[in-house]
Amino acid sequence: MKVLLINGSPNSNGCTFTALSEAAKTLNENGIDTEFIHVGNKDIRGCMGCNKCGEIKKCVFDDLVNDTAPRFAECDGMIIGSPVYYASANGSLVSFLDRLFYSTSFDKTMKAGAVVVSARRTGCSSAFDVLNKYFTISGMPIASSQYWNEVHGHSPDDVRKDEEGMQTMRVLGRNMAFLIKSIALGKERFGLPEKEKRIFTNFIR
């Protein structure tokens, strides 16, 4: 069992990484493998809505998105980590996620998801809300913690001093490990939920 940890910060070892690492350590202690993917320092363009991915089965822009897609297909869960900029996530991360989720056609149902956000002071809740929507549109159950998954500080040392934030990361790791294991048992015993043929509706008449 494996969880991908997406680091959306430009700083590979900064505050976001510190929070993700605490969750990853707890996942590992609970028998879940982890892999980090560093996104925030990459030059990643946004989705053009060209729909070429439906034809070629990958994004037309051949970059980290296409490198990550097979790892996403094989993993059991994903944690997205982002610094908070202007009460929202890093723009490079959002572009990456838009294209990753849109261009991949494999079934994401029952892969566990979670979001971790890092801010010096405020704006976490709105960034947290935006990023969780990638999971809720994909049939991915969200792992929760004892509080919203956020840490505070201007440096990794500050984050490590945020005792409540770091505890929240550890609780998240344990809860996500339990959720992934429980889903695996449920799949084995009951299978995945029945799927209906997708209905698309617009409201323009």
Q: What is the pLDDT of residue 190?
A: 94
| Residuewise pLDDT in 10s, the chain (205 residues) | 999 999 999 999 999 999 999 999 999 999 999 999 999 999 999 999 999 999 999 999 999 999 999 999 999 999 999 999 999 999 999 999 999 999 999 999 999 999 999 999 999 999 999 999 999 999 999 999 999 999 999 999 999 999 999 999 999 999 999 999 999 999 999 998 999 998 988 887 6
Q: What is the pLDDT of residue 202?
A: 87
22: part of which helix (H) or strand (E)?
helix 15-29
Among the listed residues 105, 118, 173, the one whose alpha carbon sits nearest the alpha carbon of residue 145: 173
Q: Is 7 left (phi over 0), alpha (psi -120 to 50) or beta?
A: beta
Counting beta carbons within 10 angstroms of the beta carbon of residue 7, is it exposed (0 to 12), middle (13 to 18) or buried (19 or more)? buried
Domain boundaries, the chain: 2-190
Q: What is the pLDDT of residue 203?
A: 83
Among the listed residues 48, 45, 46, 36, the one whose alpha carbon sits nearest the alpha carbon of residue 9: 36
- Across 75-90, b (16+ Cβ under 10 Å) vs e yields bbbbbbbbbbeeebbb
CATH architecture of 2-190: 3-Layer(aba) Sandwich (3.40)
